[in-house]
Amino acid sequence: MMTEKKKPPIPFFEGLSAQQQRDMFAVGISKTAERGQKIFFDGDRATGFYIVLSGKVKIYKLAPEGKEQILHVFGPGEPFGEVPTFANDVFPVHAQAVEKTNLLFFPRESFLGQIRQDPDLAMGMLATLSRRLLHMTKLVESLSLQNVSTRLAAYLVQLSEAQKQAATVRLDINKGQLASLLGTVPETLSRALNRLTNQNLIKVQGRQITIINRAGLDEWEETGL
Amino acid sequence: MMTEKKKPPIPFFEGLSAQQQRDMFAVGISKTAERGQKIFFDGDRATGFYIVLSGKVKIYKLAPEGKEQILHVFGPGEPFGEVPTFANDVFPVHAQAVEKTNLLFFPRESFLGQIRQDPDLAMGMLATLSRRLLHMTKLVESLSLQNVSTRLAAYLVQLSEAQKQAATVRLDINKGQLASLLGTVPETLSRALNRLTNQNLIKVQGRQITIINRAGLDEWEETGL
DNA sequence: TGTGCGCCTTGACTTAAATCAAGAATCGAA
DNA sequence: TTCGATTCTTGATTTAAGTCAAGGCGCACA
C-alpha cells in the first residue's frame, strides 16, 4: 500500500500552483533526524536547504563557554537554511532535531534551476524571507529594549493569539528552552513567571499557563512595567 | 549643462542589463532628506521603498522611554524599506537621515510590475534579503551572547575588514550612534573603549581608531574576555 | 578670541540579570 | 513504587551595564 506522507502546508510554497508544488517536491530529498541529532553545524558550507515535514528543529548559536541562544524552533512546514544556501555561504548557526524529525532537503543547484523557470516561486520565497526578517526585527527590539518580564508577557500574549485567543496556553517547549528563546536563563525566567503570577496576571501549572488578566499583560508589554 | 547624479552600484540591480537598470531608475522618484529628517516612522504604511544615492540613513527602534536601538545604517547603493513594502505591511522601524541624503523612492505598485517581468530582479532581492537576515541573526547573537567590549571588538574588526584591513579605521557615525548600534549607551561605550585601550589593543583619537593588536581583538571576540 | 553648543568622558550609584549552590518537583522506566 | 534523572525553583551573591550628575573638550561662528 502506498501510504503517502502527510504534507503540512508550506508557507514557502504558498501562492504556487499545485503543479509547481509537485515540481518542487519532486526535487526534494527525504531525510530523517533522530531526537538530538545535529542536522548541520555552524560553519558548514550550505549545499542546500531543508523543510520540516514533521517534528521540530532548533536553530541556535553557541557562545564560547557553551551557552546557547536559540534563534528559532521550526516545526512542520517551515523551511530553514535557505539563507546561506542563497547567498552561497556557510551556515551561521547550528541545527539540531529536538525530536524525531522528517525533513525534505533541497539541493542548491536544482532549486536554482526551478526558480529561474518560475518567477512566482521566487515571489513566495520573498514573502517568507520578509516575514522572517520582520520577526528578527522584533526579536532585536525586545532583546535590547525590554526586560525579561516584558519579553515574557509579549511571548504569552502572542502564544495565546496563535492558539485562537485561548485563555489557557500550553508551552510547546520546556521552560529551559523558553528561557533561551527569550534570551535569558531558567532561573530568571522562573522569577519572571513569579512576578507575573504575583500581580495576578497569570497562573502557572507546569507547562500550562492561564492568562487571568490579558489587559494587564498588554500593559506590561507597552510600558515595560 | 546636464550634470548627471553619480549612480553608486546598487546590489539590488546587479545582474540586470543596462536597459533594465534604466527602466528601474525611470520608475524611481528622486527625494532629498536633510540631516535629522525623518524618512518614515514606525507604524507608517509602506507605500514603497528607498535606495540611498548619497548620504546615510539610520534604521532604528524606539523603546517606550525613548531609548533607541539602531538596527542598520545604510549608505550609498543600499536599499531599505523593501520588506514591509513587499509584505504590504507597515514599516516596523523608524528611518532618519543621519546627514543630508539623496534618495530614490520606488512606489510599491510600479516596482511589483517590474519584478514580475524580471526574475533576475527577484533573485537580487532574495540575495539582499538573505544578507539582511544574516546581519540580523548576527545582531541578535551579539546582543544576547556577548558583552559590550566584545561587541565593540567585533565591530572594529569588521570595520577594518570592510576598509581593506586598514589598521586605522574611521568611524562613519558618532560615538553616541555607535553606542546605539551596539545596543548600549554612550557612557558604557566610552568605558569599553577605555578597556580595549588599556589592554593596548587599540588607540583612539576622536573618530579615528588604530588597531594595535588585531590578534588580541580577535581573542576578545572569541573568548569574551 | 571668546562663548555657546554638541559630543564625549568620568565618577558615584542603582539595578536587572547572571551565577552559584542547594533543594523540590516531575517524570519515566525498571 | 521506587530509583534516577531531568527540570524547575529558591535564596544568596556577584557583576555588567544603565542611570544620574558634573565637567571637559573641541569647534563653529559672531
pLDDT score of B2: 39
The tally of domains found in chain B comes to 2
In this structure, are A9 and A107 located in the same domain?
A: yes
In this structure, are A186 and A213 located in the same domain?
A: yes
pLDDT band at A4; cut points 50, 70, 90: very low
The CATH number linked to A164 is: 1.10.10.10
In this structure, are A137 and A211 located in the same domain?
A: no
pLDDT score of A166: 80
In this structure, are B187 and B207 located in the same domain?
A: yes
Last residue of a domain, one of B110, B143, B176: B143
B100 and B32 in contact (C-beta within 8 Å)? yes
| pLDDT for A2 beyond 50 | no
Mean pLDDT of chain B: 83
Alpha-carbon distance of B141 to B132, in angstroms, equals: 14
| pLDDT for B54 beyond 90 | no
The percent of residues above 70 in pLDDT, for chain A, comes to: 89
* Parent domain of B56: 4-143
In this structure, are A139 and A153 located in the same domain?
A: no
* H or E element at residue A222: helix A214-223
Task: Give CA separation, A184 vs A69, B52, B121, in Å.
Answer: 9, 37, 40
The CATH number linked to A24 is: 2.60.120.10
Are residues B134 and A87, on separate chains, in Cβ contact within 8 Å? yes
The percent of residues above 90 in pLDDT, for chain A, comes to: 27
In this structure, are A29 and A96 located in the same domain?
A: yes
pLDDT band at A3; cut points 50, 70, 90: very low
Mean pLDDT is lowest, of A47-51, B14-18, B32-36, for B14-18
pLDDT band at B46; cut points 50, 70, 90: very high
Q: How far is B125 from chain A (nearest CA, A)?
A: 8
Last residue of a domain, one of A109, A143, A177: A143
Q: Which residues of chain B approach chain A closer than 8 Å at the C-beta?
A: 61-65, 67, 69, 71, 82-84, 86-87, 89, 92-93, 115-116, 118-119, 122-123, 125-127, 129-134, 136-141, 143-146, 183, 222-224
C-alpha cell at B145: 551572547
A28 and A104 in contact (C-beta within 8 Å)? yes
pLDDT score of B211: 92
pLDDT score of A30: 94
In this structure, are B53 and B17 located in the same domain?
A: yes
In this structure, are A109 and A137 located in the same domain?
A: yes
Q: Mean of the pLDDT values across residues B210-224?
A: 79
CA of B60 to C1' of C18 (A): 28
ipTM score assigned to the predicted complex: 0.72
In this structure, are A115 and A32 located in the same domain?
A: yes
| pLDDT for B45 beyond 60 | yes
Most confident of A60-74, A153-167, B177-191: B177-191
With a 7 Å cutoff on the CB, does A67 touch strand C?
yes
In this structure, are B38 and B76 located in the same domain?
A: yes
pTM of the prediction? 0.72
Q: Which of B119, B145, B183 is opposite residue A63, by nearest beta carbon?
A: B145
pLDDT band at A108; cut points 50, 70, 90: confident
In this structure, are B90 and B76 located in the same domain?
A: yes
Ramachandran quadrant class, B144 (left: phi over 0; alpha: psi -120 to 50; beta: rest): alpha
pLDDT band at B222; cut points 50, 70, 90: low
Q: Which of A203, A219, A198, A201 is nearest to A168 (CA)?
A: A203
In this structure, are B13 and B99 located in the same domain?
A: yes
Last residue of a domain, one of B143, B172, B203: B143
Give the type of residue at A4. Answer: E
A147-191 tens-digit pLDDT: 899 999 999 998 888 877 788 888 878 898 889 889 899 999 999
